[in-house]
Structure 1
Amino acid sequence: MPRSHWLDPLARRVLQATGQLPPARSSATSNNALARPEPALPSNWFLDVNRGSQQQWRELPGCTDDMADLLVRLQRGGVQFAAADDLFRLLDLPTDLAQLWAPHLVFNWYGDAPLQPVRSCIDVNNASSEELTSLAWPDQRIHGLLRERRLRGFRDLADLQERLCLPASSVEALIGRVSFGQRRAGPSLPPRG
């Protein structure tokens, strides 16, 4: 078994002091921790989902920089979430994290009433033009989507909004209805004659 580097204990203490690693626990403490996990957030800590900053999102256990960035980009684009299920589907959040986050999330709606979700899911990067018509978009917008995805697939909902210049209401209507799979090779549009 290789010996650990001399810097390992010092680096570990520095990372623990800055909060990037959990604090060291004695074996007695770690046995108790396995029996009943400590709450990651104070019970009185809440996040307004539709107004949260990137720093506030990062306070949620398991929230990555990419997740926080996506949510803030959508927020800047005027997108709001009406319910936890929409948020959890968008982030593809595991059930255990969703249960941990749920008591701390507040869904205040700013402006008109939210749209009711529709339960069919379309892979925006691979759907045929016929499948995309179920989005109830004008033909011009669907052709714009097809043109943009030929250049490169969409990463996420915020990328779709930014590249197609979609209004917030259109993006909100897509939450839970679209996914962003890897772009498969093949033509998106029929050849022009």
Structure 2
Amino acid sequence: MARRHWLDPLARKVLQAMGDLPPDPAPQAQGTPTPSLEPGEAWAESASIDSFCIDVNRASAEQWRQLPGCSDAMVDLLLRLQRGGVQFSQLEDLAQLLDLPEELRDQWQPHLIFRWHGDAPPLPQPKPLDLNGASRAVLAGQLQWPNDRLERLMAERRRQPFKNLADLQERLCLPPDAVEALIGRVRFGAKPAGPSLPPRG
């Protein structure tokens, strides 16, 4: 066999760089099959991932139930708030409202879209106010509500403590913007001390 000159590889690279020789074919590992997908398989996988996104402020009951651990009680509460025109601007507000464990919160996060429909959302406020336990003076100072609305709140909570934002909105006939302003700012603790009145009707 003819002995190859030691400059052959270098000369070949130079000629390839100058375009006088075609590049070497890419090596292919033997025994390694080329991965392939059935027609439409990649699209179907991508579509299934993309379709599992929920517009939090427009989601249906069926969409909410796709999320792991989303109970019927959670779905009912979310739909009631949605019907009342209430919207969410961030995951923290939703997690606080539903009292979501950290594990569920992490599982939900990739699938939630917080798209605000209408004017800009209000800025979140720290230190939630206990609507069932705070004094009238504290409520008046932090809520900045008209006196008649504040009186309705005090009267209603004496009858029965509020359960959540939807319960508060329905019993006080609050407009959506008033409820949205409370998201992330309030909580519903134990029933306040003092005499209670029997439920109406």
TM-score range, shorter chain: 0.7 to 0.9
The aligned counterpart of 1:56 is: 63
Trace 1:13-162 onto structure 2 (pairs within 5 A). Answer: 43-44=49-50, 45-133=52-140, 134-162=142-170
d(CA) in 1 for partners of 2:192, 2:177: 29
Q: In structure 2, the residue corresponding to 1:174 is in which secondary structure?
A: coil
Answer with 1 or 2: which has the greater Rg.
2
Query: 1:173 maps to which residue?
Result: 181
In structure 1, C-alpha distance between the alignment counterparts of 2:56 and 2:150, rounded to whole Å: 30
CA-CA distance at 1:185 after TM superposition: 3.0
Task: Give the drift of 1:99.
Answer: 0.6
Q: Percent identity?
A: 57
| Alpha-carbon distance in 2 for matches of 1:97, 1:124 | 26
1:184 is displaced (CA, Å) by: 3.4
Report the residue type matching 1:186 in the other structure.
G
CA distance in 1, matches of 2:176, 2:192: 28
Question: Where in structure 1 do 4 or more consecutive aligned residues deviate above 6 Å?
Answer: none
Give 3-state SS (helix, strand or coil) of 1:132's partner.
helix
Number of the residue aligned with 1:10: none
CA distance in 1, matches of 2:138, 2:67: 36
Structure 1-normalised TM-score?
A: 0.73
Offset of 1:53 from its aligned partner? 1.1
Give the distance between the partners of 2:192 and 2:143, measured in 1 at CA. Answer: 21
What is the number of residues matched between the two proteins? 147
Q: Displacement of 1:168 after TM fit?
A: 0.6
Which runs of 5 or more structure 2 residues have no equivalent in the other structure?
Answer: 1-47, 197-201
Which whole-Å CA distance do the structure 2 matches of 1:177 and 1:102 have between them? 21
The AA in structure 1 aligned to 2:88 is: F
1:116-170 per-residue CA deviation (whole Å, 9 max, x = no partner) reads 1111211111111011111111111111000011111111100000000111111
Unaligned residue ranges in structure 1 (runs of 5+): 1-41, 189-193
Q: TM-score, normalised by structure 2?
A: 0.70
Cα distance in 1 between the residues matched to 2:185 and 2:122 = 12
Once superposed, what is the RMSD of the aligned Cα atoms? 1.3
Deviations 1:53-105 (A, max 9, x none): 12211111011111110000000000000111111111111111111000100
* Matched letter for residue 163 of structure 1: R
